[in-house]
Amino acid sequence: MTDKKIKGISGYIMIIVQAVLFGAAGYVLSLPDLGAIAMLLFFVDLVLLRGYFIVAQGDANLISLLGKYKGTINASGFYWYHPFRSIQKISLKDEVQMVGPWDTFAKDGVQLEMSVELRWRVSDAANAHFGMANIKDSVLSIAKETAQTLIEMYPYEDFGEERVSLRLHSTTVNHAYATALKKKLEEVGVQLESARFNSIRSLGKKRAANEAVAIADQMIQEVDQVNQLTESEKAGMKLQLMSLLMTEK
């Protein structure tokens, strides 16, 4: 369901209408044998008072009548609508939301602590309200789920290879995250202004075997460039380095 923009009746016009109705009821009351009609006019005038409402700057008011959505008014002002309508107010202002921190794992098995910062606003009030039980909680859940999926696609280190890593390519990772999240939020009536990882921090747990092998190979290669090593010396050094790296906190 998407927004259906409607124009409410001006509250000031209805005040004039009610004043005329009140005057008419007073006149009818002065006539003989028309007291019941006068009381009915007074009652109708009283019921009409319930139809007034104010739309604040930066808000959208969703109008429903007998459980059926009738439309949205998002222009600030003083309005009148059916006295038996119900109104749901939705803020259209920018929201800044922090997600996390929480623990997860990168593609190469490195355990991470991460958090995300979002800035968003509701762009389609009807879609957001009727599509989500709680807008803020749902945005948080979508943002966390998207971040989790993205983090699992990238390794934490690149180990000299030409690939995107979480530690060295934050701009690329942030752009990919914002693009994916923006598309998901648009589907539920929310416009993403900005999104970025506040932190992606290694928790310093034991290294995965493939990480230790890559680091050991790189270190041996650097040593070999200075001191020519035999194959047996390289193998021995590799075992020692892997032993240290796999137990390093």
Q: What is the DSSP letter of 102?
A: E
Contacts of 179 (CB under 8 A, 6+ apart): none
For the segment 97-104, the average pLDDT, to the nearest whole number, is: 89
* Other CB atoms within 10 A of residue 228 CB: 8
Cβ(195)–Cβ(145) below 8 Å? no
The architecture CATH gives domain 95-202: 2-Layer Sandwich (3.30)
Q: Which two tokens stand for residue 183?
A: 């598309």
**Of the candidates 210, 214, 213, 208, the residue with the CA atom closest to the CA atom of residue 239:** 213
* Of 226 and 169, more confident: 169
pLDDT in tens, 33-84: 788 888 998 999 999 999 999 999 999 999 999 889 999 999 999 999 999 9
pTM of the model: 0.71
pLDDT at position 249 over 50:
no
